[in-house]
Structure 1
């Protein structure tokens, strides 16, 4: 009689639970994702997305949880990580809307909706929501969580070893590498050498660029007077400046009108007429060339006549010529011409080569 009584049946306890049916394990990252909303936390909702394979969580702050805002937030994640194969969600109006259905149809995504009021079916997302709430409460108490607080919780979760991942972190599984955190400073890692293939490719690119643009090596020293290319509405202008410090191989700190600005070597040129310090390469070359020319000129003036250096095809004077000219007083001829050497820098001819370097 009790089993057939309608009133007794309505007042009965919950039935015995059925056998647990777990989700099949995915085979790759971002194959199946679980989505849910956390909140409101001090009036703010958070869209939570968890990858079932790596347990990697994503969290987006949302002041409006309409269907259009939800679809927009998910598309931003899909642009970063690609389209998932399956999405698991509850039966919220955001997930049952036509816009959400259209997004899944366009991306070929299978949308699985869990039973209403049965959060256990979407336990992957529900579990992270619980972890998120407890983490925020530990950091901020009852205050509204800030963006910095959320970032701390996310980083801690992503870099914590997980037993279901064979003691690996979600970051290792999802990104294929360990995330660098402040704890990494306790054990500094030695920098590895550059890959030989990458180094050769980089050097070829530099040589090709230099050959195409006919680059000139130009260095500046501290104290050099330069013109710096400075933006001044509505265009660039050359402003007077002084090199204060060299940063790296091509960057310099230049003082312009009492302000220190950083400039690339391509944005600097020497001030003609004012020059720069004598230590610069260009002035050194000019001074050395002038000194060499002066020394050569003095040597030519003081040189003694050498009969071995007679002019070819010149007629040698005979005895009669010497006798006739002996009575003539010697006259001083014009001074020998000064030999001048060119200081032009000779460069090899660059011929056109259609084949790439």
Structure 2
């Protein structure tokens, strides 16, 4: 009977989908490329108080999450929301959120910036402030390179107001054009090598720290797998954490890469590209 029970639990699809397993890092740490990012701008028409929330996309769930996390949690629910006829604000998710908090949604004509004067003005202000923010970023020491981007690119520090406040007297030296080119080339070569070493050392430390708990389990083409359930799950510990529909491994996305192309088993459907940690 004991063997039958073990065999039953191992082959039970519902048990495999709902069983809570300790998180194990199966795939190694790889770099990712951020393809797009958006900024969700909100402005109070009376006080002109503005909020800018970075978002990964403009989907309905992301918009509802930004609405809830920024204005509602910090300042309470607004009485009404003026918006254009964007797909995110026309969705059922945002509509239910506004209905739950008693927010009246007022629509304006699409592609009509005059109706969104406060937000459009803040967008102009935000774009106007970007150069100053970029200057601050370029003159701030980074933890990875231990240098400022300004020094890495030009081989010298920029003259900033803090230099005059701290009464730092600059060293005045005269160079010929040839001497200055040689000195600048020497400084940039040394800076490039130092930044390269810092990058390699930091990446190796991060990769070693992450991969310390990795237990590699590569998949072969033709193996059957279950995919992590990314949709909204039912509450409770018996809620399925994996989708019950199995997939078949087609091929790795690239050699020595923990990302696989999957094909739905026994049914029509598009292929999916999933990381090994989600299988």
TM score, norm. by length of structure 1 = 0.27
- The structure whose Rg is larger is 1
Tell me which of the two structures has the higher relative contact order, counting C-alpha pairs closer than 8 angstroms and 6 or more residues apart: 2
The answer to which structure has the higher strand fraction is 1
The answer to which structure has the higher helix fraction is 2
TM score, norm. by length of structure 2 = 0.34
